[in-house]
A and B are shown apart, each in its own frame.
Chain A
């Protein structure tokens, strides 16, 4: 970065070199080697074998399709919830507000398995709503809606957490100006709020999508892991592994790892836009404060 860093009081070249080597070693051994070996193992039998494992196994194909349908629905619910909840917390002061902010974090600290079990106790056949759901002939647990609920639960904090600090930093002034000029609530949201928070929102959506695609524990409990019916991609990875079909398991894992890499690139790009916008915001503030 800047030249002042190399003149930092600790910067003895030998110590610095040793620290860099240690950091590279830590990240290399714990993160890079495992990541590289996913792709190495997946393509060990050649590209054709990899493709066959993915495309010619109907259960694997179904798992890919299921993941691609469950994750977007969960992310969509999270987006609506995240925007609404962040607006509520950033624009209004009410009793219980800080408790609510803490509650947003609950899904992060609850074990996904516990979350899945809690959903089974409500929506399962023996659950609280079990008889009602049976009467309506709706299947939630061991079925698609259960997967969506479990995935939504584990990803719940991701969008709202991203938006709260950005909405608080931007402040309500522009929205208030729009209202005073006669804009309706929806107009304010689409024309003023959304353009201001779009990068933070996208950041949250990208993170939520990655988590949704990869969720295992909560989905495992509610899915009943029925091959070709309720197995998502991560569950398919586990099932193939249990069946000693490690190459096929690695092939599915490599698709998930590829998605993770795409996520990281997207995250990197979005973070640079976010940094640029927060710099613009600060610059605008400081010019507004200096009298002309």
Chain B
């Protein structure tokens, strides 16, 4: 019975739809597929999607490391509140995030009011895409690294310091090698989350073809024109990127689990 339920849901909801997606795209033949999936506008959209996601995941990994370190190592009033706030992006609907970020960074917004005169356009721009992607992916980067920092053996650090290593040397030679696998895993998870994101980006990017149009937005606009073939092929390219990333994340997480033992 448990097997039947699992098999039914996984097949009907996950495997069958994705298989149909791939088969539909494959039915166009290699040339038809390339013609639909590799148009200049689609190529630009992959570029924006991948570029913004990589940039956002990198920012998330670096900022996430700082936050994770503070939460794991330093005791200060309000630590538990900060820890709870980190989960907000997981619970806040992405549409709300997109709406409020665009309201904050437009010229009249709380932050745009200061930033736009400096030439920093946080709304309806590439920067805006990166900003919301950092928002949605930050918890992933933090939550993978935090437990690993908590479990680090402090005696090794103390030994390094006693043996005359500077604080920086201790960090780069002793601490960083220990947490690097977790940081990389956090980066990959953040990237996977950012690559497929739609809800928040659509509000803030302005969705200009060739400039700020991400692949999921292009899929939707093709769908609205009833250009199913093109939408399907672009979706398959995006799916291939996501599944490759999923395999990489899985491999990284297994390594992380082995290191922990």
Q: Do A and B bind each other?
A: yes
- Stretch from B28-36, B78-86, B179-187 that touches the partner: B78-86
- 15 pairs across A/B with beta carbons < 8 Å? A19-B66, A22-B70, A31-B85, A41-B100, A103-B15, A109-B242, A111-B216, A113-B216, A114-B238, A152-B13, A153-B13, A210-B91, A214-B96, A214-B199, A250-B100
B95 touches A84 (CB 8 A): no
Determine the residue in chain B with the shortest Cβ distance to A38.
B100
A221 touches B99 (CB 8 A): no
Total interface residues in chain A, CB < 8 Å: 89
Determine the residue in chain B with the shortest Cβ distance to A80.
B5
- C-alpha spacing A263/B27, complex, angstroms: 44
Confirm or deny: A107 has a beta carbon within 8 angstroms of a beta carbon on chain B: yes
- C-alpha spacing A81/B242, complex, angstroms: 24
B82 touches A23 (CB 8 A): yes
List residues of chain B with CB within 8 A of the CB of A176. none
Selected contact of B2 from candidates A88, A114, A117, CB within 8 Å: A88
Closest Cβ–Cβ distance, residue B253 to chain A (whole Å): 10
**Which residues of B from 221 to 235 have beta carbons under 8 Å from A?**
223, 228, 231-232, 235
Question: Given the known A-B contacts A85-B6, A257-B92, are A128 and B20 also in contact in the complex, defined by CB atoms under 8 Å?
Answer: yes
Confirm or deny: A184 has a beta carbon within 8 angstroms of a beta carbon on chain B: no
A109 touches B10 (CB 8 A): no
B66 touches A81 (CB 8 A): no
B158 touches A114 (CB 8 A): no
Q: Mark A1-39, 1 if CB is under 8 A from B, else 0.
A: 100111011111001100110111011001111110110
- Stretch from A54-62, A233-241, A275-283 that touches the partner: A233-241
Closest Cβ–Cβ distance, residue A119 to chain B (whole Å): 6
- C-alpha spacing A260/B135, complex, angstroms: 15
Confirm or deny: B121 has a beta carbon within 8 angstroms of a beta carbon on chain A: no
Total interface residues in chain B, CB < 8 Å: 86
Confirm or deny: B176 has a beta carbon within 8 angstroms of a beta carbon on chain A: no
B9 touches A15 (CB 8 A): no
B73 touches A113 (CB 8 A): no
Of A102, A104, A106, most buried by chain B (CB within 10 Å of CB) is A106
List residues of chain A with CB within 8 A of the CB of B63. 26, 30
List residues of chain B with CB within 8 A of the CB of A257. 92, 96
Confirm or deny: B97 has a beta carbon within 8 angstroms of a beta carbon on chain A: yes
B90 touches A207 (CB 8 A): yes
B103 touches A37 (CB 8 A): yes
List residues of chain B with CB within 8 A of the CB of A194. none
A221 touches B223 (CB 8 A): yes
Selected contact of B104 from candidates A37, A238, A268, CB within 8 Å: A37
List residues of chain B with CB within 8 A of the CB of A24. 78, 82
A77 touches B219 (CB 8 A): no
Determine the residue in chain B with the shortest Cβ distance to A5.
B75
A27 touches B86 (CB 8 A): yes
A84 touches B1 (CB 8 A): yes
B6 touches A81 (CB 8 A): yes
B203 touches A241 (CB 8 A): yes
